[in-house]
Structure 1
Amino acid sequence: MAFAPGLTFDSSAGRWPLRSSSLSHSLPPYRHLSICFPSAKAADIKADISSASVATAEFDFKAYMLEKSASVNRALDLAVPPQLHPKLMHEAMRYSLLAGGKRLRPILCIAACEIVGGVQAFAMPPACALEMVHTMSLMHDDLPCMDDDDLRRGQPSCHRAYGEPLAVLAADALLFLSYRHLADMDNYPSGVPPALVLRATAELSRCIGAEGLVAGQVMDMESTTDDLNKSVDIDRLEFIHRHKAGVLIEGSVVIGGIMGGGSDCEMKRLRRYARSFGLLFQVVDDILDVTKDLASNKTTYPKLLGMERSREFVEELLCDAKSHMEDFDPMKAAPFLQLLNYGKMLLSH
């Protein structure tokens, strides 16, 4: 299925002139352990990244993350006012939504909008919607019928604080609020084309449903077993990682690019960056949690590939993700490159 006609924001004119587009909303997934480059291409990538290193070094990553997360938190606070009724349900929604966190997904959404020429105001409504969806997924994950976790972000999980029935309903309410918040044109500056919002809504639906997050959760549940003789192969593990967590990261970047009016080529590069970025952080997480995961017989990349090959895979994903940033403005690409460096840095500590 192809996207609706593409739109590119003209910053000098303050509008999006219509332009034809044939970009498909989905790309074939990478095969595991198949990310590689011919030597000439790898040399070009290294040179391009080196030329951007000065701009990246001047970029204050910590200040950027703090400023963007503060903006997102203010918008989320306004999106779910405390005085609404039923009061206890909205209290539970705010309890989980405003409990903290890095706000990685909304920040990626805003950064992707800005890298293709948009501004933060275009991306803030979908950024908030993405964080609502992410929070909903965590509330569901914590339930006794799922992971049965008592704590989330250093405080009792929602079902422990408000009871299981209300936690389920509050999570459902956040999910539906996310769509309303994304689709409400009153949340956007004047002149934002409804066609962009429609495309963003379709992308969010794909990321959440049977093609995305829900599919990953189901596969994860089916793969959780105490039977030491029942194995999960690398294809299944990659599917789980890409869909349970990676797909919402992909959606965040793609939706931001949509709202900024990204071109076909820009959208393709953003999507591929996000796919490698999302899987990279899952593999890093597997490596960091290797002791705990082995004790629980959880299938991970280190378990299937070994620690050394898993670290090599991280480097391959890192190289691939960086390659998709090479044609963007270095300063606007800096958040994306610094996030990759952060993922790699975690392995050195």
Structure 2
Amino acid sequence: MHFDTYLQTTLDHLDASRVKEAMSYSLFAGGKRVRPQLAIAAMEAYGKDPQQIYPFAAALEMIHTYSLIHDDLPAMDDDTLRRGKPTCHVAFDEATAILAGDALLSEAFYQVTLCHCDDRQKVALIKLLSLYSGANGMVLGQILDMEGERGDLTAAQLERIHENKTGRLLTIPFLAAAVLCEREADLPIWEEIGKRLGLSFQIQDDILDVTSSSAVLGKNINSDEENHKTTYVTLLGLTQAKALAAAYYEEATNLLHTLAIDPKPLLQVFEALAHRSF
């Protein structure tokens, strides 16, 4: 079964409601599915059946989608376009969008309970999902990002924001695969790989926001520039930002080769991310 086929079934158990419609609208709107791709490729790198991680990969996509729904709200970034469609609060309303995000967060933890693994591993996966998506992870990055809009940021401050806001959810696919494959000794290396991958991914986002278009990216762009927000491009300039993104990807790739895995499945995903245009 392909992962997208699995994902399409994940909300089937919910009663019909406007909230379910809003959840489906955002979760099934497309997107790159980067986090599930990384999780699946990590399982393949370990030589295991990737379907074993499908529920956790779905949980990651739900967490990511809920964060986008809330990020787009008027109280946050006030964006009107996401994945080429009106944002959730525009297509429905603000209250429904908030509830849809809340419900996707809850459903993510339900998905983890469906993983085919022992109870010890399920507890470890739930703990990872809580830590990396919560107030010491993605949510921390979000509040630091909001606070950072009040003034200029240093390179160290910007790095801390994006290690959490972007990097945490790009690290957790590797950690989950290591847990499911009983390779917990690899976790420190995966942490370093995820950190570098997340920073490079974010720098690319900053670059694309000034070099691409809303039609290509499927979202509002240039709002950072209009709001005088510090990004890697405003801090370093376009040329240096591109060089730094490439350097982080190279470091992540080099670290990948230090693990006792088949790196090819992950290298394919890394290569696609390094050359993405949206």
Q: TM-score, normalised by structure 1?
A: 0.71
Equivalent residue, structure 2, for 1:173: 103
Residue correspondences, number: 267
Determine the structure 1 residue equivalent to 2:190: 270
1:333 aligns to 2:263 (yes or no): yes
Pick one of 204, 208, 217 that aligns with 2:133. Answer: 208
Match of 1:275, as an amino acid?
A: K
One-letter amino acid of the counterpart of residue 158, structure 1: C
CA drift of 1:110 comes to 1.6
1:241, 1:282 within 8 Å by CA — same for their partners in 2?
yes
Q: Percent identity?
A: 36
Which consecutive unaligned segments of at least 5 residues does structure 2 have? 212-221
Q: Which has the larger radius of gyration?
A: 1
- Which amino acid in structure 1 is aligned with residue 193 of structure 2? Y
Q: Which amino acid aligns with 1:297?
A: H
Cα distance in 1, alignment partners of residues 210 and 83 from structure 2: 21
Provide the C-alpha distance between the structure 1 equivalents of 2:90 and 2:63, rounded to a whole number of angstroms.
20
Residue 260 of structure 2 is aligned to residue 260 of structure 1: no
What per-residue deviation string (whole Å, max 9, x for no partner) do you get for residues 18-76 of structure 1?
xxxxxxxxxxxxxxxxxxxxxxxxxxxxxxxxxxxxxxxxxxxxxxxxxxxx8222112
**Unaligned stretches of 5+ residues in structure 1:** 1-69
Amino acid at match of 1:198: V
CA distance in 2, matches of 1:195, 1:116: 20
Paired residues of 1:115 and 1:328 also in contact (CA < 8 A):
no
AA paired with 1:171? G
In 2: Cα distance, 1:245 partner to 1:270 partner: 15
Shift of 1:302: 2.5
Give the stretch that moved more between structures: 338-347 or 117-126.
Answer: 338-347
Judged with a 3 Å threshold, the aligned counterparts in structure 2 of structure 1 residues 318 and 136 are, in CA distance, closer, same or farther, namely same
User: Could you say which residue in structure 2 is the equivalent of 1:289?
Assistant: 209
Stretches of 4+ aligned residues off by more than 4 angstroms = none
CA 1:150–1:125 in 2, change beyond 3 Å: closer, same or farther?
same
Displacement of 1:87 in angstroms is: 2.0
Give matches, 1:8-157, under 5 Å.
71-81=2-12, 84-157=14-87
Q: What is aligned with 1:67? A: none
Letter in 1 for 2:123: L
- The AA in structure 2 aligned to 1:323 is N
Cα deviation code 1:175-212 (max 9, x no counterpart):
011101102xxx344xx221111111111101111111
Q: Tell me the CA shift for residue 295 of structure 1.
A: 4.3
Mapped to 2, the partners of 1:122 and 1:342 lie a distance apart of 24
Query: What is the Cα deviation at residue 305 of structure 1?
Result: 2.3
Give the TM-score normalised by the residue count of structure 2. 0.88
Distance across 1 between alignment mates of 2:156 and 2:196: 15
1 CA distance for matches of 2:115 and 2:131?
Answer: 22
Deviations 1:261-282 (A, max 9, x none): 2240x32222221111111111
Q: Is the 8 A contact 2:134 2:140 kept in 1?
A: yes
